[in-house]
Amino acid sequence: MGRYTGPVEKLSRREGVELYLKGERALNGKSALERRGPVPPGQHGAARRRRPSIYAEQLRAKQRAKRYYGVREKQFRNYVREAARNRERVTGEELLRLLERRLDNVVYRLGFASTRAQARQFVNHGHVTVDGRRVDIASYAVKPGQEIAIDSSSPVRDVASAMTELTGTVAGWLQTDFDGLSGKVLRIPERAEISAPVDEHLIVELYSRL
């Protein structure tokens, strides 16, 4: 199944939390979630529903994480497996660290794109460099010490520069130079530094039963 191409604000309403899929609209408080509240889309969205089962809650947690990071099912399953192989860390927390270290997410976290989808497009089209070398793989896992930048000759620099004007604080595990449109990975993020509306424990429980 291909990537979702429908109305993205509908996904935030479905999950009941802001997934920041619409960029400036969410930052300015104009998203559909802000205007309509956490009501599922569709004519029956506001209808009274039964309390979801444990499995339904686990499945919803997985869908929320996939949509938040823009990852497909097969990719997500591989991340869960990789996280489970690390015996030194809690599986759920390691899963989020792996997702956070995706190059498209880092470009977004540095403030160079308004959404992860835009950041992914920047990467896929060859506008992003890692340690001076062009990398066009959105799932590329960044490492501590690496420098990420918008290529100096890229035509999207003006767009990226405009996005930095909307950026507040940058995560503590990253360092950014807004003027130079570059940043550095200082270390692997801790769970407390990952501002994702995701319950990773439910996700791990879901995959443990599959």
CA pair distance 39, 47, nearest whole angstrom: 9
Residues in the chain: 210
pLDDT (tens digit per residue) in 98-117: 999 999 999 999 999 999 99
Query: Considering the entire predicted model, what is its pTM?
Result: 0.79
CA pair distance 158, 128, nearest whole angstrom: 14
Q: Which residues of 179-206 are buried (b: 16+ CB within 10 A; e: fewer)?
A: eebbbbbeebbeeeebebebbbebbbbb
Domain segments of the chain: what residues?
Answer: 102-187
| CATH no. of 102-187 | 3.10.290.10
Whether the predicted pLDDT of 56 surpasses 80: yes
Whether the predicted pLDDT of 132 surpasses 60: yes
pLDDT (tens digit per residue) in 171-209: 999 999 999 999 999 999 999 999 999 999 999 999 998
